[in-house]
Amino acid sequence: MQPIPRLTKIDDWRWRVEQTGDMLSPGMVYASEKMVPHIVAERAAEQVANVACLPGIVGASLAMPDVHWGYGFPIGGVAAFDIESGVVSPGGVGYDINCGVRLLRTNLTRAEIKVAGLIDELFRHIPSGVGSTGKITLSLSEVKQVLEKGAQWAVKRGFGSSEDIEHTEESGTMNGADPDAVSARAATRGREQLGTLGAGNHFLEIQEVVEIFDEKAAAVFGLFAGQITVMIHTGSRGLGYQVCDDNAKSFVAASERYSIHLPDRQLACAPVSSPEGKKYFSAMAAAANYAWANRQLITHWTREVFAKVSGRPVSGIGLELIYDVAHNIAKREKHEGKEVLVHRKGATRAFAAGHSDIPLSYKEMGQPVILPGTMGTASYVLVGTDGAMKETWGSNPHGAGRVMSRSEILKKVRGEQLKNRLASEGIYVVSESWKTLAEEAPEAYKDISEVVEVCVGAGISKKVARMRPLGVIKG
C-alpha cells in the first residue's frame, strides 16, 4: 500500500505531492489553500500519487483545480506516458468517453429571446434523462460509420456545416478509431442514443455573456457583452460506458500478464504498444467519435428550435460553433518534440497560440477553453497559454468539480425546491427527474470563479469572458 501522500506548498496555486513508495515521479496539484483540505480528505491526492506509480509516466502526475475522487484516476487528473515504455488505462479516461462541451454564439441579446419558450421547445426536441433514446435509430452498419467518422458523419448527412468541423477538436473525427474493436453490446447500446443529452451532469444551457475580460480574444472568438450563447455538455452515452466497462474488467488480467504492479485495481492498464492497449485505444477513439456526432446532432436540432421559436432563419440568429472540446480522452500528442500518450480525465485541452492543432481562425490567439460551472452560478471562456504547454501538457480543468457526492447532496436538497429557488434568481430549469436536478445543485460543486482564479494565478490559462445561465435543460 502506498504511504499517505504529503503535499508541499510551492506557491499560492501549486502543491507538490512528494515522491514516496512506488511513485516513479512526484505529483502536482493546482489548487488554492482553501481547496487543499477537501482534496486530501476525500483522498484525491492519494489517487494522484497512485497514478505516479504507473510504468512509463513522463513528468508529474497532475491534478487540475476541479480535482475530486474518481474511478482510478481522480477526476481532474492529467498524466502523460511514454509511447514505448508507458501504459494506457481505461481508468485514466473514464466511463463517459469524450464527455465534452461545446459553445455556440448567437447574434441575439437577452431582450430578443423568451427563455422559457426556447427551453421548453428544446426540451421537447432533444431527448434527455437516464436511458433516453434519440429521434433517429441507426442500423448496426450505420453505428459503425458513426464510430469511424464522428461529427463528419453527421455533417455529411446535413446535420451542420464544415465550419462546425473546423471548430471541433480533432475536426470531430479521431484517427485510429476501429469500429470492430467495439463490442457488439456497446454498438447495440449506441443504436438509439445518438442525439441525446442523457442525465447526470449533462445539460443544455442558454446563457448571457455578462463580462468580457480580454477584448481582443473575445473579438476573435466572436463574443460580446450582453450576447446570448448556448452550451451543450454530453458524451458518448451508453456506448462509451460499455467500451470502458468491457476494457476496465479485462485490463486487470492484462496488468498481471505484463507484470504491472497496481496500487489500485481501478488503474488496470496495459502497455500502449501491446495488442490489448492498441485495441482499447481504437475502441476509445471510436466512442469519442460517437460523442462528437452526438453533440453535432444536438447542435443541429438546437438551431432548428431557435429558428422555429424566433421565426428567423439560422443565418440571422448566428448559432455558430465557437469550439468543442473533449473532457475524458487519451491522445497521442507531441510535446517539445516527444510523442506521449496524454490521459485527460475530467480535464480539457488548452493549447497555446501557434499550435498546429488550433483552428486557423484562432491560431494567433490560442485555443478557446470552455469551462462550465453550475446551473446556478456561471461559466467561463478561457484561452490556452504557453504556461499550460510547459507545465500541464496543454491542459486545464473541465468545470467546477464536485465537493459533495450525489447521495450527500440528496440529503440536503429537493429538486422541486431547487427549481423554485433558481427561478427566483432568474434561471428557468427543466428536467426529466427531480432527483437528477437535486444531485446537480450548485452547492454540490466548487466555486467556479475560484477554479478559474487558480488557473489564471498559475498561468495555465487566461480569462476571456464570463456567462451566466438563463435557462437550463437537465436530464
- Active site residue: 233, 300, 327, 398, which one? 398
Q: By CB neighbour count within 10 A (0-12 exposed, 13-18 middle, 19+ buried), where does 109 fall?
A: middle
φ/ψ of 229, rounded to 5, equals: -125, 165
Residue written as cell 421547445?
Answer: 121
With H, G, I as helix, E, B as strand and everything else as coil, classify residue 28.
strand
With H, G, I as helix, E, B as strand and everything else as coil, classify residue 39.
helix
Q: What angle do CA 80, 54, 60 make, to 5 degrees?
A: 45
Sign of CA dihedral 193, 198, 203, 204: positive
User: Looking at residue 374, what DSSP letter applies?
Assistant: -
Q: Quick one: cell of 139?
A: 442500423
Beta pairing partners, 110: none
Distances in whole angstroms, Cα of residue 341 to Cα of each of 78, 121, 211, 423: 11, 42, 36, 44
Cα–Cα dist 386/353, whole Å? 8
For 335-447, where are the alpha helices, taking DSSP H only? 386-391, 406-410, 415-424, 434-439
Q: Which of 171, 178, 142 is nearest to 157 (CA)?
A: 142
The rounded Cα 187 to chain-centroid distance in angstroms is 22
- Residues contacting 292, CB < 8 A, separation 6+: 98, 100, 150, 151, 168, 170, 172, 173, 174, 324
Cα–Cα dist 281/273, whole Å? 10
The rounded Cα 42 to chain-centroid distance in angstroms is 22
Cα–Cα dist 106/155, whole Å? 20
Q: Is 398 a catalytic residue?
A: yes
With H, G, I as helix, E, B as strand and everything else as coil, classify residue 331.
strand
| Residue 22 identity (one-letter amino acid) | D
Q: By CB neighbour count within 10 A (0-12 exposed, 13-18 middle, 19+ buried), where does 351 fall?
A: buried
Catalytic amino acids?
Answer: 398
